[in-house]
């Protein structure tokens, strides 16, 4: 296999990162009204993280923390309405005036979607990183990787 990543790979992954992250964010926030949602956004973010790992730009970190925080967040979204006298997952919808964007409508489904995204990112990273670790290429024994150049 390719032992050393070529500069082309590195540079193209670096170039792709910001637009990919933007697409992920768009999917996350637009999901309520247009195609997208937390799961899709999580996949995009996860793929970005793993591409950067593949191109040896940076090693994934915090996967477990993301998973834990995501689940905590999801449970919180479920439990907060119940604890304040409603039912589980009771939606609160409100409108906020945001400069530039104008009136933005949002509900408690958004934090739930963000939690889903966090868990999916963590899962993707754990899955792919686990795949990479369980062989013998030795790339994972070199972490943490060299700082960005």
Partner 1 sequence: MLWWLLLSHGFGVLLAALSGWRRGMRAGLTVASAAPLATTIWAVDRLVSGTDPETTEVVWVAGLDLVLRFRTDTVALLMTVLVSGIGVLVFAYGTAYFGADAAGRARFPATLLAFSASMLGLVLADSIWTLFVFWELTSITSFLLVGYNSTSDAVMDAARRALMITAGGGLILMVGLLVLAEEAGTSVISEFGAVDGPAASVAAALIMVGAATKSAQIPFHVWLPGAMAAPTPVSAYLHSATMVKAGVFVIAVFGPVFSGNDLWTALGLAFGISSMLWGAIGALRHDDAKLILAWSTVSQLGLMVTLLSLRTPKGVFAAVSILVAHALFKAALFVVVGEIDVRTGTRRITELGGLAISMPIAAAVAIAAGASMAGIPPLLGFAAKEAAVEAALGLEGPMFIVAGLSVIVGAVLTVAYTTRLLIGLLGPGPDVTVAPNRPLLAIPSMALAGAGLLGYLFIDPVNELVVPAAVELDPSADAYALHRWPGPTLGLAVSMVVIVCGLILGTILARRTLAIPRPVGADVADRWLDAIPIVSRTIIGRVQHGSLPIYLATMATVVSLAAAPFALSLPADRIVLWDDPLQAVLAAVIVAVAVAGMFVGSRLGAALTLGAVGICVSGVYILYGAPDLALTQLLVETVVVVGFVLGLGHLARRFPDSPNTWRTIRIGVSLAVGTGVASALAVAGSQPAGQPPIDDLVRLAADDGGGENVVNVILTDIRALDTLGEITVLVVVALGIVALANVRRSEMTT
Please identify, using beta-carbon distances, which residue of 11 and 92 lies nearer to partner 1: 92
Which residues of the chain form contacts with partner 1 (CB under 8 A)? 1, 27, 31-40, 43-44, 46-47, 50-51, 53-54, 63-64, 67-68, 70-71, 74-75, 77-78, 88-89, 91, 93, 105, 107, 109, 112-113, 115-116, 119-120, 122-124, 126-137, 139-141
Q: How far is the CB of 34 from partner 1 (least distance, A)?
A: 6
Q: Kindly tell me which of 141 and 148 has the beta carbon lying closer to partner 1.
A: 141
In the complex, least distance from residue 41 CB atom to partner 1, rounded to whole angstroms: 9
User: Could you give the C-alpha distances from 59 to 10, 48, 78, in angstroms and in order?
Assistant: 13, 12, 33
Angstrom distance (rounded) from CA 93 to CA 114: 16
Min dist. Cβ of residue 37 to partner 1 (A): 4
Q: Which residues make Cβ contacts (< 8 Å) with residue 137, sequence separation at least 6?
A: 1
| Minimum CB–partner distance for residue 139 and partner 1 (Å) | 7
Residue whose structure tokens are 């923390």: 65
């Amino acid at each position: 296999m390719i032992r050393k990543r070529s500069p082309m790979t590195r540079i193209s992954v670096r170039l792709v990162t910001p637009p990919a992250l933007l697409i992920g964010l768009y999917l996350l926030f637009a999901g309520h009204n247009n195609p997208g949602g937390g799961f899709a956004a999580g996949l995009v973010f996860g793929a970005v993280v793993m591409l950067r790992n593949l191109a040896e730009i940076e090693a994934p970190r915090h996967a477990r923390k993301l998973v834990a925080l995501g689940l905590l967040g999801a449970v919180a979204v479920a439990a907060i309405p119940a604890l304040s006298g409603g039912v589980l997952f009771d939606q609160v919808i409100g409108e906020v005036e945001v400069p530039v964007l104008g009136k933005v409508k949002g509900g408690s489904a958004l934090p739930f979607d963000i939690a889903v995204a966090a868990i999916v990112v963590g899962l993707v990273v754990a899955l792919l990183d686990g795949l990479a670790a369980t062989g013998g290429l030795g790339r994972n024994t070199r972490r943490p990787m060299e700082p960005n150049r």
